[in-house]
Structure 1
Amino acid sequence: MNDSYLNFVNSPFGARVARSLGLPKPEVLRRYRADEPEFGGLVAIGAGREPHLLDSLADLVASIGVTSVAHESAGLWMPLAHRHGLLTGRFEPAESGSAARVGALIFDASGIDESSQMEPLHAFFHDTLRSLGKCGRIVVLGRPPEACPSPRKWTAQRALEGLTRSLGKEARRGITANLVHVAEGAEREMEATLRFFLSPRSAYVSGQVVRIAADGLHRLANSVVVTDAIGNDAASPFDWNQPLANRRAVVTGAARGIGAAIANVLAAQGAHVIGIDIPPARDALEATMRQLNGTALAFDIAAPEAPAQISAALDDHGVDIVVHNAGITKDKTIAKMTGSAWQSVIDINLCAQERIDDALLAAGILRDGGRIVGVSSISGIAGNPGQTNYATSKAGVIGRVQSMAPLLRPRGITINAVAPGFIETQMTAKMPLALREAGRRMNSLAQGGLPVDVAQTIAWLAHPGSAGISGQVVRVCGQSLIGA
């Protein structure tokens, strides 16, 4: 849907009006386009004491081909960069209007062992933040607090969440800030996640905390190596430009809207997409799948026979990725809500996911090393008046992800969820104007997201390089103030 205010304040005349009246001016976000470079600009590197991740970070900088500049806090970066053959220099603040603005800020805080060692964080961001360009990226790297060997390190690493989320709210200008906790032994598994957070693909993801675990999976060159139960390694190669090539992905609710966007992004990254939607949406589903050379399955996922039907349709070739996107709303306050309205939302949004996954896992149709991604919602985190049924179902999706992750780990299968905030869809277009504008502006980016923002986040979680991410919920909400 068209955001008239965003378009107006970013026009020459509207920008002048906004400045004169002191109106907020949301930035037009830079999103991924196949005809534009995915990475560019300078990357400023900072670090705390005894950083553990700089070597892996140098591999990433070399892989994506950007130029780095070292802040004085990252004294080890210069010799390390030279050993990797990287173009690098010393950080110098950009002058006002300078074309040489920094595109990303990365701080390695993994070696900070106690709260008294946090001064380099202040020094780095104090010196660099004003040099960060529009739609820039901030990534803070640390260790998972719960895995820290001492209470003081746990305390210091947990404190990074407050820093990162505050940076996301201070920076504005389309800038995002995210925190990545990298477990010991998972240093070589962080590339897919850093590529996502540094690229335009994460345009509407900010204020998030992601944990990368080792779990016996590691990445070598452009392949994921899974160690099986008897100790054998089986390499599954991938291309960063087509990481989902030779993989099969199921997307429910794929006929239109967010589901169609998910199908498009997965297909663009090389997957063969099998779209599922209800029989009344057959024509739209077939049209969407036809454009992607995908497969259309017109099934009602809430029907008792649906798991068997889906399993039979997929049995010959199996699948690698399952995206549970299908969902409905039937909004009423609970005092006015009928029992059927309650149960139908729970059944379609939550129970159907459980039944389908049970069938695919029991039959081995979802292959080992596969990915399950559920679509939750900010409503499932914060609740919403008039949506007790919907919020219950979406909170249940989060519960599934957290409870199933350890059970699926022995098979190398990950399960995660995305929780969209205000996304510009046909549904939000029907909201009253005041509620719609509130939904758009009540986040750090001061605008609504697009279906492609949800789709790109799901594609990252489905990526073969995301094997260390499981049991997590990533909000696609522009760092919404609701549920923050």
Structure 2
Amino acid sequence: MARDTYTELVNTPLGRRVSGALGLPQPARLRRHRPGAAVIDGPVALVGDTVVADRLAEVMLAWGLDVRRHPDPGERLAAVVVCLDEVSTPAALSTPVLGLSALLKQVGRSGRVVTVFRDPAGSSDPAVRAARQGIQGITRSLAHEMRRGATANGIILADDLDADAPGVAGALRFLLSGRSAYVDGQFLTVDTVNGELPRSPEGWERPLTGQVAVVTGAARGIGASIAEVLHRDGAEIIAVDVPAAGEQLAETANRVRGTALQLDVTSEDAGEKILTHAAQHHGRLDIVVHNAGITRDKLLANMTQDRWDSVIAVNIESQLRINRALLASDLFSHSPRIVSLASTSGIAGNRGQTNYAASKAGVIGMVSASKDLLGSRHGTINAVAPGFIETEMTAKIPLVTREVARRLSSLNQGGLPVDVAETIAFLASPSAGGTSGLTLRVCGQNLIGA
């Protein structure tokens, strides 16, 4: 993994002065999750006078947060939560949004702004939908304006969803915490009452205790980081990768005290082999993370059959085949979780990656279409779409191209494998049970796509 020397430099006193004088980007050191640390350090301002706002105030107070309905001018704030769930016309946005405006200069380093509102698609009234859609535009634009590692994201609630639904508190805690360090300008939709919140601080730290998770492509990079974070959060790990990566796979499995399964995910019986291994070695299976993926880049004019077919086979056809086997098994039937790796290339496309973009857009389509299949088991299926992540692969990109890619986000830096892993761990947790069929970008609000 390449070092981001520029970010290290501008976070020194001299580098900060020089970059500021030259008008260069000044990426901040992001606040990432540390086991045992507080959800967020400092007061949280709550804007809004709704039932949802009252409920979220109670939730945050129960977490031990310092919640302020009327913060003092000039007081440093760790976060601002803006409840816009009762806004019904665009004109009605003025008062709460300008109330938020007055607080923005008080938001500190790695601060958070979280908007909470109802689903635009939940209303057929033109004015209501316009107002709700407007909140999405506000949130995305604000994310571009945040500085010093601060982010802005939103929580979208289904019209008939009560604020007491576990997924609402779960989404809020994730977006306030360091687990969402590289999630910016994005929206978490909560539309069912499924899920369960931890009953103790220890439960929030290890929400996957007693569960068994499969991670494909686990030998190295993002896959290894996913295995490590899921293990940290309490899960037993089945690390899966191809036989050629056997040595590194064994190292990952040993590091997380799990078991290793050498397997080609494109094989016809891959799903059955995963289920058999889980039954024999762990007695259950709760979480499957489809991380295995390959690239075979080429302009479409020069694309060959083997390059196209191999990418489609690994990145999407294998997931479809394994999911069919999982859903046919009673072993994978108790509130199961599936999380797939998509990509921003599947959202916005990328030069030389028609095969890869097709496969990753396919993942997004598969996830949205599979929501009801998992819902019948009180389970969920979601996808994570990483942007520029510091891995062995991106370290091979030419220096100038790599530097440009790092700065093409609102956070002006690449993400780390752990950023992807933290988001996957959240989506795999019981507190995310109200969210399904979603693709969540982990890209620092990369300046491509939606």
Q: Smaller-chain TM-score range?
A: over 0.9
Whole-angstrom distance in 2 between the partners of 1:444 and 1:117 = 28
- Note the C-alpha offset of 1:347: 0.2
**RMSD value over aligned CA atoms?**
1.7
Whole-angstrom distance in 2 between the partners of 1:167 and 1:129 = 10
| TM-score, normalised relative to structure 1 | 0.89
Q: What do the CA deviations read for 1:201-225 (whole angstroms, capped 9, x no partner)? A: 10000101121012x52647739xx
Match of 1:482, SS state, is coil
Whole-angstrom distance in 1 between the partners of 2:376 and 2:124 = 25
- Note the C-alpha offset of 1:407: 2.5
Q: What do the CA deviations read for 1:176-221 (whole angstroms, capped 9, x no partner)? A: 101101223342221111110000110000101121012x526477
**C-alpha spacing 1:302/1:376, structure 2 compared with 1 (3 Å):** same
Whole-angstrom distance in 1 between the partners of 2:216 and 2:196 = 30
Are 2:155 and 2:190, in contact at CA under 8 Å, matched by a contact in 1? yes
Corresponding residue for residue 245 of structure 2: 281
**C-alpha spacing 1:462/1:407, structure 2 compared with 1 (3 Å):** same
Are 1:262 and 1:456, in contact at CA under 8 Å, matched by a contact in 2? yes
Corresponding residue for residue 183 of structure 2: 205
| TM-score, normalised relative to structure 2 | 0.95
How many pairs does the alignment contain?
Answer: 444
Q: Which amino acid aligns with 1:305?
A: D
Alignment pair present for 1:404 and 2:370: yes
Match of 1:106, SS state, is strand
- Note the C-alpha offset of 1:69: 1.4
Alignment counterpart, residue 233 of structure 2, candidates 259, 262, 269: 269
- Note the C-alpha offset of 1:303: 2.0
Are 1:186 and 1:468, in contact at CA under 8 Å, matched by a contact in 2? no
Match of 1:28, SS state, is coil
Percent identity, please.
46
Are 1:192 and 1:463, in contact at CA under 8 Å, matched by a contact in 2? no
Are 2:196 and 2:431, in contact at CA under 8 Å, matched by a contact in 1? yes
Structure 1 residues 58-67 or 174-183, which shifts more? 58-67
Are 1:186 and 1:218, in contact at CA under 8 Å, matched by a contact in 2? no
Corresponding residue for residue 93 of structure 1: 73
Corresponding residue for residue 156 of structure 2: 181
Q: Which amino acid aligns with 1:426?
A: E
Corresponding residue for residue 291 of structure 1: 255
Corresponding residue for residue 115 of structure 2: 140
Alignment pair present for 1:120 and 2:95: yes
Whole-angstrom distance in 2 between the partners of 1:60 and 1:440 = 36
Q: What do the CA deviations read for 1:415-464 (whole angstroms, capped 9, x no partner)? A: 00000000000000001122211210011000000000000000110110
Corresponding residue for residue 194 of structure 1: 172
**C-alpha spacing 1:186/1:290, structure 2 compared with 1 (3 Å):** farther
Q: What do the CA deviations read for 1:2-39 (whole angstroms, capped 9, x no partner)? A: 10111111112211211222222111111112254332
Q: Which amino acid aligns with 2:117?
A: G
Match of 2:254, SS state, is helix
Corresponding residue for residue 74 of structure 1: none
Are 2:216 and 2:241, in contact at CA under 8 Å, matched by a contact in 1? yes
- Note the C-alpha offset of 1:149: 6.2
Match of 2:330, SS state, is coil
- Note the C-alpha offset of 1:305: 3.1
**C-alpha spacing 1:162/1:113, structure 2 compared with 1 (3 Å):** same
**C-alpha spacing 1:468/1:186, structure 2 compared with 1 (3 Å):** farther
Match of 1:165, SS state, is helix
- Note the C-alpha offset of 1:146: 1.4
Corresponding residue for residue 227 of structure 1: none
- Note the C-alpha offset of 1:158: 1.3
Are 1:193 and 1:466, in contact at CA under 8 Å, matched by a contact in 2? yes
Are 2:195 and 2:432, in contact at CA under 8 Å, matched by a contact in 1? no
Name structure 1 gaps, 5 residues minimum. 71-89, 95-99, 224-236
Are 2:79 and 2:111, in contact at CA under 8 Å, matched by a contact in 1? yes
Alignment pair present for 1:451 and 2:426: no
Whole-angstrom distance in 2 between the partners of 1:106 and 1:207 = 14
Q: Which amino acid aligns with 1:133?
A: G
Corresponding residue for residue 144 of structure 2: 169
Whole-angstrom distance in 2 between the partners of 1:59 and 1:463 = 22
1:64-103 → structure 2 map (5 Å cutoff): 64-70=63-69, 90-94=70-74, 100-103=75-78
Whole-angstrom distance in 2 between the partners of 1:218 and 1:255 = 31
Match of 1:118, SS state, is helix
Name structure 2 gaps, 5 residues minimum. none
- Note the C-alpha offset of 1:238: 8.6
Structure 1 residues 178-187 or 455-464, which shifts more? 178-187
Alignment counterpart, residue 131 of structure 1, candidates 106, 110, 120: 106
Q: Which runs of at least 4 in structure 1 moved beyond 6 Å after TM superposition?
A: none
1:81-480 → structure 2 map (5 Å cutoff): 90-94=70-74, 100-148=75-123, 150-183=125-158, 184-188=160-164, 189=166, 190-214=168-192, 217=194, 219=196, 222=199, 239-316=203-280, 317-480=283-446
Q: Which amino acid aligns with 2:38?
A: P
Are 2:218 and 2:224, in contact at CA under 8 Å, matched by a contact in 1? yes
